[in-house]
Structure 1
């Protein structure tokens, strides 16, 4: 079977390798220096490429970082896109609890990079906008799960799925940042139990 890279010319394959090298070097640089102190010069030096090379692929470090951030968030999307087809409130609670556990555990596993994401959101309007778009993607996916539960007469019909989804994501996001930054005295298990219990009892019949 032919892979997508096999159809590229030698020049295109080299360009792809250079871009990946810059992204890898970029991630290492951000982890070493943090977002604010990292520079394109640091990244170029680590990638061992020519000075102007980085600007062929990325207009600035913000754009390079956004691609790294989006790659990281794809791991979180896999959790959000897990099949959600409960037949009862109990099944819904178990599936929701599992998603929250995987979501927050992944944030803790990637806490070094997530801390830099948090820093970057506060410093770069471009990255703040990119995070807003990521957040909206999660909210849209959650609202689909809520509508499924409503259509199957599991969840209350007198609530707006999109509005509830927003509140649910923001609750998870708040605890995600607290766990990443070690700013909560609650354990992961306590957060998961209380979040899912309040959410499920408020939404499900």
Structure 2
């Protein structure tokens, strides 16, 4: 029995459109002024909506930034979710190197918004806590990949997959912020090569 797909009401559609306008305006305002100097009033004005309507969707600018941050980090997480089922040590290394390269290239591509996010992490407790939860999501995914390699005889068993995952993510995170701040003097490819070689030579057998 086929069921008709329920279409959102006109009111619901208008609500979605308003929320998206606020998010688009928030992105523009944050990138233009930075997180600290941006105001909810500027965002509401650019979105061309009323204050009462805006506050139905977001209680403050921190809320808007958190949604924008989730959207950006979801694109990073697509990289973390790339299939990881290597059959050999070299295949594992190639997959890891690909992930690191894509991760750092994404940092460069998303630099304007990532600069806002870094500033907000330092200023807003809510944004900082959201970043911690995002970070944990990445770490758990990395730990899962390490556990797979350990189970299949590719990686050392005398190390804790969660602890190694944390160290690996923190190393990548450090270079991510260097790229975001324009503080990196090495090429992305140099970082990818050196970072991956150190990591895989310590974790994987015979690499």
Shift of 1:8: 1.3
Q: Distance in 1 between matches of 2:10 and 2:109?
A: 37
Q: Which runs of 5+ in 2 are unaligned?
A: none
Q: Which residue of 1 aligns with 2:34?
A: 34
User: Please, what TM-score do these two structures have when normalized by structure 1?
Assistant: 0.96
Alignment of 1:1-205 (within 5 A): 7-205=7-205
Matched length: 204
Deviations along 1:174-199, whole A, 9 cap, x unmatched? 00000111112111111100100000
Coordinate RMSD, CA, aligned: 1.5
Corresponding residue SS for 1:158: coil
Shift of 1:80: 0.2
User: Please, what TM-score do these two structures have when normalized by structure 2?
Assistant: 0.96
Determine if contact 1:108/1:180 at 8 Å carries over to the other structure: yes
Corresponding residue SS for 1:196: helix
Corresponding residue SS for 1:37: coil
Determine if contact 1:36/1:123 at 8 Å carries over to the other structure: yes
Q: Distance in 2 between matches of 1:40 and 1:83?
A: 40
Shift of 1:53: 1.9
Corresponding residue SS for 1:190: helix
Shift of 1:96: 0.3
Shift of 1:81: 0.2
Determine if contact 1:40/1:54 at 8 Å carries over to the other structure: no
Corresponding residue SS for 2:54: helix
Shift of 1:9: 1.1
Q: Distance in 2 between matches of 1:191 and 1:167?
A: 16
Corresponding residue SS for 1:153: coil
Q: Distance in 1 between matches of 2:124 and 2:167?
A: 25
Judged with a 3 Å threshold, the aligned counterparts in structure 2 of structure 1 residues 164 and 17 are, in CA distance, closer, same or farther, namely same
Q: Which runs of 5+ in 1 are unaligned?
A: none
